[in-house]
Structure 1
Amino acid sequence: MNAPIAIIGTGIAGLSAAQALHAAGHDVELFDKSRGSGGRMASKRSDAGSLDLGAQYFTARDRRFVEVVQQWQNRGWAETWAPELYNSQAGQLSPSPDEQVRWVGAPRMSAISRALLGALPVHFSCRITEVFRGGSHWSLQDADGNSHGPFSHVIVATPAPQASALLACAPKLAGVAASVVMEPTWAVALAFDTPLDTRVEGCFIQDSPLDWVARNRSKPGRDNHPDTWVLHASSAWSRQHLDLAKETVIEHLHGAFAELIGCAVPAPSFTLAHRWLYARPAQAHQWGALADADLGLYACGDWCLSGRVEGAWLSGQDAARRLLEHLA
């Protein structure tokens, strides 16, 4: 009986690798510090319904990812989203239609990660703090001091700053991960009992603390009431205000939203703030995935490629492919 393969992180990269390895007949065991799967594609259940606080949508350009997204659509996990798009510059709103096909999970972003996870064995609320090798096998230690293993291989599928610590057994890989700069993003959700009188459903913003707003009800399968909006602060603003109290962040971004949206904005009936410490890599890379095949240690994530959902999925595929090639 072969030992299973450990995968740390159940975002799109980790789930992509897990799916590929499972399809090839290998046992996998997943670990995540959160209470659910999806990483930055997770949705948060709230008193105002389900909210996509992280990735707002995704695009598909690579042929392999295009095919997979079409499968997701056929299975009812994903749908296209065609919002009325605007641009805001120097306080001026202007329509900004484009030809880009945008995808979202249905009826919420986390539908995709839940479906990909399926019945695979997973440990949630389990933060792995150390990956170590004993003899010919790997073991993992969690924040509560529990040990997990033995495992034949380990794939680290977490944001780069967290991955570098878990890759300590392979200093070269740890160094590469440590060199990646990841940008933070403050996300705020606002709900209004009376729908806002605006045609805006998505808006790219310059010259503001905000760089994106989206109207939740414009996405397929979402609740119409209340009228919920998700606001993302710019990386620069988020970096400068990283340790601000959530209430103050909500106040600032609500104010910026009211200035920008071009209609009366009443006091929201519900507010929520979430800080994504590692929202996106500051620049794209071409690594695909990181591998020390002799050791049996791998790393993948959006930071290995484009920083997009597509990059995360492709990176997970690449990690699985390299592992399988080494086994062949």
Structure 2
Amino acid sequence: MQIAVVGAGLSGLTVARQLQSQGHHVTVYEKSAGVSGRMSTRQTELGGFDHGAQYFTATSDRFKKEISDWKKLGWVTAWDEKLVSLDHGQFKSAGKSATRYVATPGMNALGKQLAHGLDVRKGQQVVAIEGYNEQWLLKVQADTVGIAASAGPFDAVLLAIPADQAAPLLGELPKFADQATKAKMLPCWTLMLGFPTSLDLPYGGAWVNQSRLSWIARDTSKPLHRAGERWVAQASPAWSIEHLEEDPERAKEKLLKAFHEATGSWIQPIHAVVHRWRFAQSEHPLPSDCLWDANRKVGVCGDWFAVGLEGGGRIENAFLSALALAKSVG
């Protein structure tokens, strides 16, 4: 079959690779200039910032096997840095948990590896999917062209994008659109900080309590990342919702103040930038593995499906959901 995949994050790239290996002809459409979705790395003069997903873990045997393969290829490695719980500058150990993994030399490197050998059309946003006889046409908007163009026809269309972005494209499948609406995604403001000298903090990452922030991490504590003193700070879902439309400069000021208060370090950064993720994590993951209409040949996958795990929004969810959809397509 001729299959279109919308979205080149981990889920989209995984389902595309799997279907291509099953003999289908796959074209991937990605609205951004690069692949990896929320596994992004922002490059600067100081080095890269993993400003989306921070790391990933594995609980299922299938994902553990995949990580083992990625490790052998040198695409990912374990992140063994000390992580703590922070409360107004005071910290305590977060304790031991499952092994945490990161892609090297930045989180987006995994997506770049997975994209090899795929036909990925970057900078092309799918704004509508329309039935065409028993096939589908995509309405695609590119930054370089003033009007949307048609792409296709395709025998099947698979959406591997956040729920809030998938719902408007599912007008011809109202039951799917309704389910996507139920998996409402929460936003996240992220602050990227570069410092002229070490902050001398005795940990590489921390969950932050009683703060505008929920998480901070020294990006340079991750294996094979460029040296320096770079920190990523992510706001809590509640604060991000309340300040969703905040002016970026104001959001930066408030989050920087929260970073200083949380760490007890008042060294001023030489680099400070914010990024707003409108759709960072699912508030209510759907209890299924994916969505697939065998008659209309439209499917949906992503990290907002529970796939038998507790909760959602993890890289493992995205991977397992993609495999489930590829298996359903056949």
TM-score of the two chains, using structure 1 as the length reference: 0.95
The whole-number CA distance in structure 2 between the counterparts of 1:276 and 1:46 is 19
3-state SS of 2:124 partner: coil
The answer to whether the aligner puts 1:241 opposite 2:239 as a matched pair is no
Matches within 5 A, 1:240-319: 240-262=242-264, 264-305=265-306, 306-319=312-325
1:78 partner letter = V
The whole-number CA distance in structure 2 between the counterparts of 1:28 and 1:77 is 24
The whole-number CA distance in structure 1 between the counterparts of 2:79 and 2:200 is 21
Partner of 2:221: 218
* 8 Å Cα contact 2:292/2:325 also seen in 1: yes
* Runs of 4+, deviation exceeding 3 Å: none
Partner of 2:167: 164
1:234 partner letter = S
TM-score of the two chains, using structure 2 as the length reference: 0.94
Deviation at 1:301, TM superposition (A): 0.6
1:303 partner letter = W
| 1:11 corresponds to which of 9, 12, 30 | 9
1:148 partner letter = A
* 8 Å Cα contact 1:284/1:304 also seen in 2: yes
The whole-number CA distance in structure 2 between the counterparts of 1:231 and 1:145 is 37
Q: Equivalent pairs: percent with the same residue?
A: 35
* 8 Å Cα contact 1:84/1:97 also seen in 2: no
The whole-number CA distance in structure 2 between the counterparts of 1:197 and 1:11 is 34
1:80-130 deviation line (CA, Å, top 9, x unaligned)? 001111101355322223132000011110111111110211111111010
Return 5+ residue gaps in structure 2 as ranges.
Answer: 142-146, 307-311
Return 5+ residue gaps in structure 1 as ranges.
Answer: none
Partner of 2:127: 129
The whole-number CA distance in structure 1 between the counterparts of 2:198 and 2:87 is 24
| 2:32 corresponds to which of 29, 34, 37 | 34
| 2:107 corresponds to which of 106, 109, 115 | 109
Partner of 1:68: 66
Shift in CA distance, 139/60, structure 1 to aligned 2, threshold 3 Å: same
The whole-number CA distance in structure 2 between the counterparts of 1:30 and 1:88 is 41
Partner of 2:144: none
Deviation at 1:181, TM superposition (A): 1.4
1:315 partner letter = S
Partner of 2:151: 148
1:183-228 deviation line (CA, Å, top 9, x unaligned)? 1000010000111121121001111000000001110111112x00
1:277-300 deviation line (CA, Å, top 9, x unaligned)? 000001333210011110000001
2:291 partner letter = L
